[in-house]
Amino acid sequence: MLEIKIFSEKGRGVVATQLILEGTLIEKAPVVYFPVEQRQIIDKTEVFKYYFVVPSEYHEGKEIGGYLVFGLASFCNHSEKPNTYIDWVKNETGLWANLIASQDIQAGEECALFYTNIDAYSF
């Protein structure tokens, strides 16, 4: 359903290999949380490019930790018009990042997310 491709202008990205219908659960990936103290260290490393913050926490204006998603969602590039989103699910087995299609995605089309903290990135 997905593959990683290299884009000359933005590096690795996730591409659909078949039609993915709106509402489809594309991937369910385990997540590990790290506190703000560790985030301040991680922000100075390559891992910075791959972790997430939860939008509801980020917009509260407080210092927050981060989430490492162990799946292909970590390689989704930013778009102002994303075609996927993360549904954060916590259950008895832990925290999960469900990558969901927010619209139909055609084979060969990049799967993109809207980055909550886009201003922190330099493209």
pLDDT in tens, 2-50: 999 999 989 999 999 999 999 999 999 999 988 888 988 988 888 888 8
Residue 94 near residue 70 (C-beta atoms within 8 A): no
pLDDT for the residue numbered 51: 86
Q: Any idea which residue has 């954060």 for tokens?
A: 88
Q: Across the chain, what does the average pLDDT equal?
A: 88
**What gap in Å lies between CA 44 and CA 99, rounded to an integer?**
26
Top-confidence residue, 39 or 105: 105
Question: Is the predicted pLDDT of residue 59 greater than 90, yes or no?
Answer: no
Q: Long-range contacts for 38-42 (Cβ within 8 Å, ≥24 apart)? A: 38/65, 38/66, 39/64, 39/65, 39/66, 42/66
Residue 72: φ, ψ to 5°:
-70, -20
- Sketch out the chain's domains with CATH numbers: 23-103+113-120 (2.170.270.10)
